[in-house]
Structure 1
C-alpha cells in the first residue's frame, strides 16, 4: 500500500493572509509543517501543493518536494485531488499547512484505519479531539463532529452539536481536526462531484462526502496542537515552540 502526504498551501487565507509564511522559531510556518510531516517517517513521499510562487520557492529552497496547482481551487481537497489524479498511490493524507505541530502518533492512527480495513469499506478517516470548554463548543470557527457507536461520522457543524437540551445526558463534544486520510478514489470522487446545499451552508468540505454517502471513520486523539488561523494563534504557537 503506497501512502503519501500532501500539504495544501494557499497563500491568501481569508482570516490571516500570508500566515504560512509567518516566522515560527526562525522558519516559515509551512516549512515547519513540512519538516514535521517528513520527520514522522510514515510516508513514501511528502509534497506541498500550492497556488503561490512564494511558497513554492520557499519549499524548493530547502530541497523539499513541491507542486504548483494548475487550476484555481476553493478547498484543500480539490487542490490535492488535482495533484494526485495521475499518481500511482493508494492512500493520501492531507496535513494542513498551518499545523506545524503535526505528530506521528495521530497520523499513525489514521494509517492503521486503512491497514485494518480489509474489505475497503472506509472511504476516508479523520481526527477528532474531545473538548469541554463551552466557549470552544459554541465557537463557529471550531468545527464539531458527532459520530455513531463505531465512530463513523454522522455530521459536522459549526453549531454546537448535539444541542444540549438535557445538560445531564452526559454527551461528549468533539472538535474536528482538519487532518484527513483518503483512499485515492474517494478524493477523486469529491473533486468531480458538485457541492450540495449542506456543505455550501456550513462551509465544511467533508460534509460533501457524507452527502454523497461516503463513510468517514473518525479517530480520537488527545493531541491538540495549534492550528494557526489568526495572529493570536501564531503568538500561541510561538510560545509553544519555545
Structure 2
C-alpha cells in the first residue's frame, strides 16, 4: 500500500496567469509545493498532474515526476482522476495538494492522509480550522459543520450554522480547507457521479459526495495554508519567504 500526493497545476489561471511558474525566492511556486509534499512523512511519492508542457518541463528540470493530463477537464478532481489512472496498482491513497500553497506544512498533508491510512472503510477526508473572526459572511470562505464523530454534515458559502438561538451553548464556526485525501478507487469513481443540485447551487464540488451518500472525515488543523490567487497574494508570499 502506497500513499501518493498529486499536485494539479495548469497555466490558464484567470487572476494570475502562469501561476505555477511564478518565481518565489529563486524557485518556481510549483517546486516549493513539491518540496513540501516530499517532506511529508506519510507520502511515498509526489507527482505533478498538468496539461501544460511548460510546467512539465519545469518540473522535470528540478527532478520532479509528471503525469500529463488533458486540457478539457471541468474540475481539478477530474484532472486528478485521470492522473490516478496512470499510477501503479499499489497506490491506494491519494492526497490532493493544491499547487498554489507554497508555504503548506508537510504535517498538514500528513493530517489529511491519516484517517484513510488508519481506517480502510473511509473513502475521503479533508481539513478544517476555526473560522477567523469577521469571515462568516464572506462567500469566498467555505464553512463546514460536523457530526459528533467529525464527519462533514454540510459545506456552505453562507454563514454556517445560522445563529438563531443566541442562548444556545457556544459553537466554534469552522472553515473548510480544500485539501483532500481519497481512497484511490473512490477518486476514480467520483467524477463519474452525476452532478447534484446542492453542488451546483453552492458551486462546491465536495457536496456531490455528501449528496450521493458518501462520508467525508474531517480533521482539525490550526490555520489555513497561505494560498496564492492574485498578484497581491504573490507579493505577500514573496515577502514572507524573504523574511
Normalising by the smaller structure, the TM-score range is over 0.9
8 Å contact kept, 1:121–1:215: no
Structure 1 residue 104 displacement after superposition: 2.2
Structure 1 residue 60 displacement after superposition: 1.3
8 Å contact kept, 1:153–1:217: yes
2:156 match: 157
Give the 3 Å change call, closer, same or farther, for CA 209–137 of structure 1 in structure 2. Answer: same
Structure 1 residue 228 displacement after superposition: 1.1
1:72 match: 72
1:129 match: 129
Aligned residues: 239
8 Å contact kept, 2:209–2:215: yes
8 Å contact kept, 1:106–1:223: no
The CA deviation string for residues 94-113 of structure 1, in whole angstroms up to 9 with x for no partner, is 00000111212222222221
2:192 match: 192
1:172-191 equivalence runs, <5 A: 172-191=172-191
Matches of 2:63 and 2:106 in 1, distance apart?
22
Structure 1: state its 5+ residue gaps: none
Moved more, 88-97 or 63-72: 63-72
Structure 2: state its 5+ residue gaps: none
Matches of 2:121 and 2:40 in 1, distance apart?
27
1:96 match: 98
Matches of 1:121 and 1:42 in 2, distance apart?
19
What TM-score, normalized to structure 2?
0.92
Matches of 1:225 and 1:167 in 2, distance apart?
31
Give the 3 Å change call, closer, same or farther, for CA 48–103 of structure 1 in structure 2. Answer: same
Q: Give the secondary-structure state (helix, strand or coil) at the position aligned to 1:176.
A: strand
Output the aligned Cα RMSD: 1.6
8 Å contact kept, 2:101–2:226: yes
2:112 match: 110
What TM-score, normalized to structure 1?
0.92
